[in-house]
Amino acid sequence: MNYTLGTVVRYPGNGQYYKLVNVGSNGSDGTDPTISTWYWQPTTCSTTPPPSSGGFVVSEALFNQMFPNRNSFYTYAGLTTAMQAYPAFANTGSDTVRKQEAAAFLANVNQETGALVYIREINQANWNSYCSSGNCGGKQYYGRGPMQLSWDYNYRTAGAALGIDLLNNPDLVATDSAVAWKTALWYWMTQRAQAARTPHDAMVSGAGFGETIRAINGGIECNGGPGREGMLNRGRYYTDFAGRLGVPTGNNLTC
């Protein structure tokens, strides 16, 4: 069967539950959830509601302390609303692991946005540079939001996963706080670029914070790349945020 986004199924092969977190042109395309991990994410089936603002391991007060100069666009309510799209975020494993993942996510966001100050990519000269087809109908797919979502194909894929037409309305990522946070969580939970794991999987598996950097900007910052200082900044932010949450950083802070 081809299921729609968000469907939770019980797979008879092992009796476990899986949630459809990405869709293709034919929904789930009839894929095997134990093999097609881009489509399916292991989950639980219960009546437990998704995290609310009271369920996030980072309180609103602490969030405000972490980002004292943040742009008012980046609301705490927008983040906790977005978390309902990915209930496994900062809600998997032990209390320590949940807090480490939250610290890691916010540390990377801190680096991407100048401490949640910038909504749009600073260098406007690049705004027309992110069109893979060469003709994007006048639409611009430069970096926007907490994870600076860039390129037309990422807007297309993120929009399909979230049920939002971001390909035709890319500026929603810069004008709707919940949508902006959702795109950041979409990348965190489902994308890995050239890394072995998604950032979420890196933190819950114990692979370490450095692997989240590799999944987000590894081509520039990892392995002695030209953006090495950015990698070091991310590690410093993570160490700070983990300390504020009272948890150790774990190993592998760099890539």
Active site residue 112: yes
Task: Provide the token pair at 226.
Answer: 């030209």
For the beta carbon of residue 91, count every other beta carbon within 10 angstroms.
19
What are the strands, taking DSSP E only, across 56-187?
A: none
Task: Considering the candidates 60, 101, 112, 211, report the single residue annotated as catalytic.
Answer: 112
From CA 27, how far away is CA 8, in angstroms rounded?
Answer: 13
Identity (one letter) of the amino acid at 200? H
- Three-point CA angle 43, 46, 49, nearest 5°: 95
Long-range contacts of 8-11 (CB under 8 A, 24+ apart): 8/43, 8/45, 9/33, 10/45
DSSP 8-state symbol, 48: P
Cβ 136 vs Cβ 170: under 8 Å: no
**Residues carrying an active site annotation:** 112
